[in-house]
Amino acid sequence: MSSQLSNGILTAQDLNTCRQELKDIIIAPFDSNKCKGIGYNLSPTEFCYSVRKKRLLKVHKTDNEVYVLIPPHDTVLTISNEYLKVSSELAGCFLSRVRPVTSGLGNISTTLDPGWNGMLLLPISNPSSKRVKLVIKTQNDDKLEPVAIVTMLLWRTNSSRTLKSTDGAFTFKLDNPPMRTDIWDSLASGPPSLLHSKRNKLFKASIGEMKEYEKPINVDSYIFQIKALLTTLEQSINHSPVTTNEISDSLINIYHLFKEKEMPNEIVKKIKSLFSNDEAKALDNYNDFNRCLHDIVSELSHNNSYKDVFANRIQALRDECMYQELCEQVDGIHDIISNRIKRHWNKGKAAALWERYIKPHIGGIVATVILMVIFFSGLFSTPADFVYKIMISLVPVLTTLIFDRFDHRKTDNAGCDSINGT
């Protein structure tokens, strides 16, 4: 446990320290703006399941926000936007933020066990008799950002009362699996709704895909290459005597990746720390790099105590690479949610009428108008009943509606089949 952390409830400064050192609690993705006072604010995703309606809720989107409407006297289950990895020396709880509660939503109050690893299941209730809007994302600097709904508080556990395993590590038995997949499995295994069979099928398939998702290994990614180079570097400094050529080659390759690839700021900082104590000056140009490289090789060759210092820097960079891989894993789950959840654009009534009913069938509507003009203008002298003319005129638009419905069914079924891997 870091000596810099508070003895009581962790503050925003403590949480930022945990992120920099990647110790005690890992939050992926981490946003320093969500560290407020004595807690960290967590957000829901668009994956919102209605307990009463037994289906996923429609997600509405405007130019400024993304939201769902929670029905009266209903509870929605959603997944947190963040992934948590908690050490055995921390525990916590979740408390509702004031703004969502003042809009009519119920309180969220649950606990976080030591050793938790995964995304969270967040139950959000609407005890009122009216629908309540749950805002999931809102516009911020030309980008839709997640909106926090709960604050996570963390504190140290009383380690003196905790049993230890044979290797001295604290052990906890967790009754609940990550993301509470036991609850999701129970909901997905329930009797299907006849009126919403497609949504039920999509819900079950989405749960299965999120549970089984593993980020594919990309050997060409800079993270994979850096990790491989760090392994070689570690083996080289532990060799007796140190293999200076391999050390130089590994550091040169890391430097080339650093200059060629666009990387997150935290990885950039850790690479600079690997080469020098002065992050501001390291690697600014090739001459700086050569001086750093010479100093590292010289220190490792003549100063055994420097090996431990350099090994810690290697581990810090490796941990950061693994953290970025975790963020990519979480992004993959978010992509599954984003691809499976259908969004409904909320515009003005006229715009909505155009988008939903007129624009998809514009060809049939134009053909119908042309036929009606022809029939009722007297261009055809053949007598015909008024109703008969109307029926003939409506054939084009009705045809487009039927084919549109058929295409939607094919698209839905194809989407469900692709989810199931067929």
In terms of domains, do 151 and 45 share one? yes
Among the candidates 284, 314, 336, a domain finishes at 336
Average pLDDT of every residue of the chain: 80
Domain total for the chain?
A: 3
Task: List, for residues 121-152, the tens digit of each pLDDT value.
Answer: 899 999 999 999 999 999 888 888 999 999 99
pTM of the model: 0.74
Min mean pLDDT across 51-65, 191-205, 256-270 is at 191-205
Judged against a pLDDT cut of 90, whether residue 236 lies above it is answered with yes
In terms of domains, do 10 and 128 share one? yes
Residue tagged 């997944």 (tokens):
79
In terms of domains, do 91 and 119 share one? yes
264-267 long-range contacts (CB < 8 A, ≥24 apart) are: 264/324, 266/20, 266/320, 266/323, 266/324, 267/226, 267/317, 267/320, 267/321, 267/324
* Residues across the chain: 422
In terms of domains, do 383 and 268 share one? no
In terms of domains, do 113 and 2 share one? yes
Q: Which residues, at least 6 apart from 392, have a Cβ–Cβ distance to it below 8 Å?
A: 371, 375
**pLDDT of the residue at 248:** 94
> 195 lies in a domain?
no
In terms of domains, do 137 and 26 share one? yes
Is the distance from CB of 341 to CB of 210 less than 8 angstroms? Answer: no
In terms of domains, do 54 and 148 share one? yes
Higher pLDDT, 135 or 374: 135
CA distances from 238 to 204, 231, 298 (A): 50, 11, 15
DSSP string of 201-261, one letter each residue: HHHHHHHHHHHH--PPP-TTSHHHHHHHHHHHHHHHHHSSS--HHHHHHHHHHHHHHHHHS
Burial of residue 388 (CB within 10 Å: 0-12, 13-18, 19+) is exposed
In terms of domains, do 236 and 137 share one? no
- Where in the sequence is the domain holding 360, given as residue range(s)? 347-420
Whole-number Å distance between alpha carbons of 359 and 379? 29
Higher pLDDT, 372 or 14: 14
pLDDT category of residue 417 using cuts at 50, 70 and 90: very low
> 284 lies in a domain?
yes
Of the candidates 194, 195, 214, the residue with the CA atom closest to the CA atom of residue 333: 214
In terms of domains, do 38 and 103 share one? yes
> 114 lies in a domain?
yes
> 200 lies in a domain?
no
> 168 lies in a domain?
no
Among the candidates 272, 304, 336, a domain finishes at 336
In terms of domains, do 137 and 227 share one? no
**pLDDT of the residue at 207:** 79
**pLDDT of the residue at 279:** 61
Question: Which amino acid, residue 268?
Answer: V
> 215 lies in a domain?
no
**Terminus-to-terminus CA distance in the chain, angstroms?**
48
Min mean pLDDT across 25-39, 161-175, 353-367 is at 161-175
**pLDDT of the residue at 197:** 63
Is the distance from CB of 298 to CB of 310 less than 8 angstroms? Answer: no
Most confident of 320-324, 366-370, 373-377: 320-324
| Helix-helix angle 197-212:181-188, to 10 degrees | 150
> 405 lies in a domain?
yes
Task: List, for residues 200-214, the tens digit of each pLDDT value.
Answer: 677 777 777 888 888
Whole-number Å distance between alpha carbons of 146 and 30? 12
Is the distance from CB of 137 to CB of 64 less than 8 angstroms? Answer: no
Whole-number Å distance between alpha carbons of 136 and 70? 12
> 163 lies in a domain?
no
Residues 141-154 as b or e (16 or more Cβ within 10 Å = b):
eeeeebbbbbbbbb
Among the candidates 291, 314, 336, a domain finishes at 336
In terms of domains, do 296 and 378 share one? no
In terms of domains, do 332 and 351 share one? no
Q: Which residues, at least 6 apart from 125, have a Cβ–Cβ distance to it below 8 Å?
A: 74, 75, 76, 105, 106
Mean pLDDT over 93-120 rounds to 89
